[in-house]
A = this chain, B = another copy of it.
Amino acid sequence: NETKPGKAQVLYDFTAEPGNNELTVKEGETITITNQHIGGGWIEAQNSRGEVGLVPEDYIEVRDVGNAAPPDLSFFDAFAPTSAPPQNQASNGNDPWSVWNTDATGGSSNNWASKPEGTQTGKSAAADPWSSAAQGHPQAYQGPGAEDDEWDDEWDDVKSSGGYAESESGESGAMQRGGAHGSSMKISLNKFPGFSKSGPELYLLCKQLVKGKDKLPIYMGEVGPVWSYPETQLDCVVADPKKGSKMYGLKSYIEYQITPSTTNRPVNHRYKHFDWLYERLLDKFGSAIPIPSLPDKQVTGRFEEEFIKMRMERLQGWMTRMCRHPVVSNSDVFQLFLTYKDEKDWKTGKRKAEKDETVGVMIFSTIEPEAPDLDPIEVEQKCEQFSRFTRAMDDGVKEILTVGQEHWKRCTGPLPKEYQRIGKAFQNLSSVFNSSGYQGESTLTDAMTAAGKTYEEIAQMVAEQPKKDLHFLMETNNEYKGLLGCFPDTIGVHKAAIEKVKEGDKLVATSKISPQEKVTMAKRVSIMSYALQAEMNHFHSNRIYDYNRVMQLYLEEQVKFYETIAAKLRQAHSQFTTM
């Protein structure tokens, strides 16, 4: 895939991450390639204003291609709408909070509108949270060998999820992972049920179930089906972000230290490792368990420090949520991430995880509910109930985010300015009074000046308060927005399976399946239902914990805020003479 140096045309908007030697380019812009041997998916280029920086290789189209056929861009057309910027570009460069209102979690808001059944065109795949194309850069330039397991061959800004070789647009326009792992697939395929290899039928009709240690039991608890919870809940701390660089300083990256509560021994990971973990968890558990997206890669902070702090905070939130999940936290790949001993250990584990075949709907084959099979009616009712609930909660959460963002703007913008002006007005009048030449004025003027200064202090308090309370309310709701954005697909897999079971008699009659297979399907959809119920119960229990905690924190800080203002004003009041 070598390209000669020369002119290139930009295919997609790319926003440089500050401090990373990157170059911001716009779709349609012509740039000059100054170094094509940077590696890691990057080239160095110069724009028409003479600015030089790194640009992702697959964001540009080289014009003077002599030794290679022009890339087939029809692939891009299907997955990355050229008019819409790639997902990971923040819409507002000035405000790290602005992501709350954008559909940063993979355009999940669209998902509620589109039914999981029915035909979807390839174009709409960009709104699919499961579609990698919607979340990362198009990967067509990366052949199967383009990314191997080299420790050093890493980059922060282009997804490292094992290259999509021989990519093809299927009938549905969905993307199928090719190459070494034939059985792994994007579960977005489950949106298009039919008697293909890609639907829940893969599980419903498969011959052999997984045996042994990987079994995931489900018990009947007080609230209904529950996962098996460990005695001690896993936890970890993400901290100490350190800047490193490679390629002779051309590229820099941030490395985080993650310390699990089990070993208390820190391991280092870069964002791309988190991303790799996310892809593995999504592949393995995504059909049964909502795996929320990682925090946006390119949330541009006002300052780099603020950006790093924000990303770390959100990575911590993501890790905490994964640690809390009994199935996820106990998985080999998650344990590897948290407790690998050395580079060799990591590499071995990484290769093993990528070869895991119990992915997609096959995860259900490992689930063993210790309870009698469920009635299909009940299965469907439960499913409908969860669907309604998650949909309603998604609306509720988005309402809080919208209202909260407006409140944030007011509290950091016009409101403190007004308090400041009130403070200034009192102080100005006080200094006029001071110039009266009249005796015995000082008690009043001192008190008025103090009152004015108090309102200036209040102005500052008002402006700083959202960081102390609203921030956490927003972050929690933002996390839930991401989580809820995963449910339409999880529930979609379930609904597709229910539909298939409903067709059971017809399928037997037309000899598509055997009567025995029909019985198996019903049994397996019951297993899927137990999994969904266990997961919903896990979600509810976490939700109650999270909202109880965040509402308490919010109100606690609000009480402190208003009490401090009252105390300050009381003090200001006491300086006036009583008459």
Task: Give 1 or 0 for each of A537-565: 1 = CB within 8 Å of chain B CB.
Answer: 10011011101110110011011001101
State whether A577 touches B548 (Cβ < 8 A). Answer: yes
**Residues of chain B with a CB closer than 8 A to A548's CB:** 443-444, 447, 576-577, 579
Task: Give 1 or 0 for each of A451-474: 1 = CB within 8 Å of chain B CB.
Answer: 100000000000000000000000
Once bound together, how far apart are the Cα atoms of A432 and B480, in whole Å? 14
State whether B451 touches A555 (Cβ < 8 A). Answer: yes
Copies in the complex: 2
Once bound together, how far apart are the Cα atoms of A395 and B443, in whole Å? 22
Among the 9-residue stretches A50-58, A262-270, A300-308, A418-426, the one with 4 or more Cβ atoms under 8 Å from chain B is A418-426
Once bound together, how far apart are the Cα atoms of A410 and B565, in whole Å? 19
Once bound together, how far apart are the Cα atoms of A385 and B435, in whole Å? 9
List residues 400-456 of chain A with CB under 8 A from any CB of chain B. 400, 403-404, 406-407, 410, 414-415, 418, 421-422, 424-426, 428-429, 432-433, 435-441, 443-444, 447-448, 451
State whether B441 touches A544 (Cβ < 8 A). Answer: yes
Is A195 part of the binding interface, using a Cβ–Cβ cutoff of 8 Å? no
State whether A432 touches B393 (Cβ < 8 A). Answer: yes
State whether A569 touches B555 (Cβ < 8 A). Answer: yes
State whether B547 touches A573 (Cβ < 8 A). Answer: no
State whether A389 touches B436 (Cβ < 8 A). Answer: yes
**Residues of chain B with a CB closer than 8 A to A388's CB:** 435
In the assembled complex, the CB of A381 is this many whole angstroms from the nearest CB of chain B, namely 10
Once bound together, how far apart are the Cα atoms of A551 and B404, in whole Å? 33
Once bound together, how far apart are the Cα atoms of A397 and B570, in whole Å? 24
Interface hub of A397, A415, A576, A578 (most chain B Cβ within 10 A):
A576
Once bound together, how far apart are the Cα atoms of A573 and B558, in whole Å? 10
List residues 338-393 of chain A with CB under 8 A from any CB of chain B. 385, 388-389, 392-393
Is A171 part of the binding interface, using a Cβ–Cβ cutoff of 8 Å? no
> Which single member of B385, B537, B551 contacts A448 (CB below 8 Å)?
B551
In the assembled complex, the CB of A3 is this many whole angstroms from the nearest CB of chain B, namely 52
> Which single member of B389, B415, B436, B451 contacts A540 (CB below 8 Å)?
B436
**Residues of chain B with a CB closer than 8 A to A555's CB:** 451, 569-570, 572-573, 576
Once bound together, how far apart are the Cα atoms of A246 and B422, in whole Å? 47
In the assembled complex, the CB of A417 is this many whole angstroms from the nearest CB of chain B, namely 10
Is A396 part of the binding interface, using a Cβ–Cβ cutoff of 8 Å? yes
- A interface residues, tally (CB under 8 Å): 69
In the assembled complex, the CB of A201 is this many whole angstroms from the nearest CB of chain B, namely 30
In the assembled complex, the CB of A73 is this many whole angstroms from the nearest CB of chain B, namely 44
State whether B547 touches A444 (Cβ < 8 A). Answer: yes
**Residues of chain B with a CB closer than 8 A to A223's CB:** 438-440
State whether A569 touches B562 (Cβ < 8 A). Answer: yes
In the assembled complex, the CB of A546 is this many whole angstroms from the nearest CB of chain B, namely 10
In the assembled complex, the CB of A387 is this many whole angstroms from the nearest CB of chain B, namely 12
State whether A429 touches B406 (Cβ < 8 A). Answer: no
Once bound together, how far apart are the Cα atoms of A537 and B400, in whole Å? 57
State whether B438 touches A537 (Cβ < 8 A). Answer: yes
A400-B425, A418-B407, A551-B451 known; A573 and B544 CB under 8 Å? no
State whether B429 touches A400 (Cβ < 8 A). Answer: yes
Is A149 part of the binding interface, using a Cβ–Cβ cutoff of 8 Å? no
State whether A562 touches B559 (Cβ < 8 A). Answer: no
**Residues of chain B with a CB closer than 8 A to A424's CB:** 399
**Residues of chain B with a CB closer than 8 A to A451's CB:** 551, 555
**Residues of chain B with a CB closer than 8 A to A393's CB:** 429, 432-433
Nearest-CB residue, chain B, relative to A411: B418
Once bound together, how far apart are the Cα atoms of A440 and B392, in whole Å? 19
State whether A396 touches B429 (Cβ < 8 A). Answer: yes
Is A72 part of the binding interface, using a Cβ–Cβ cutoff of 8 Å? no
Once bound together, how far apart are the Cα atoms of A210 and B426, in whole Å? 45
A439-B222, A565-B562 known; A448 and B396 CB under 8 Å? no
Is A566 part of the binding interface, using a Cβ–Cβ cutoff of 8 Å? yes
Interface hub of A396, A404, A414 (most chain B Cβ within 10 A):
A396
Once bound together, how far apart are the Cα atoms of A429 and B439, in whole Å? 60
**Residues of chain B with a CB closer than 8 A to A572's CB:** 555
State whether A551 touches B389 (Cβ < 8 A). Answer: no
Q: Known pairs A433-B543, A441-B540. 8 more at Cβ < 8 A?
A: A393-B433, A396-B425, A403-B418, A548-B577, A549-B579, A555-B569, A559-B573, A563-B566
Q: Nearest 9 A-B pairs (CB), nearest first?
A: A562-B566, A555-B573, A396-B429, A438-B540, A563-B566, A396-B432, A392-B432, A400-B425, A552-B576
Q: List 20 A-B contacts (CB under 8 A).
A: A388-B435, A389-B435, A396-B432, A399-B428, A403-B422, A410-B414, A410-B415, A433-B547, A438-B537, A438-B544, A441-B544, A443-B548, A447-B551, A448-B551, A451-B551, A552-B573, A552-B576, A555-B572, A562-B566, A566-B566
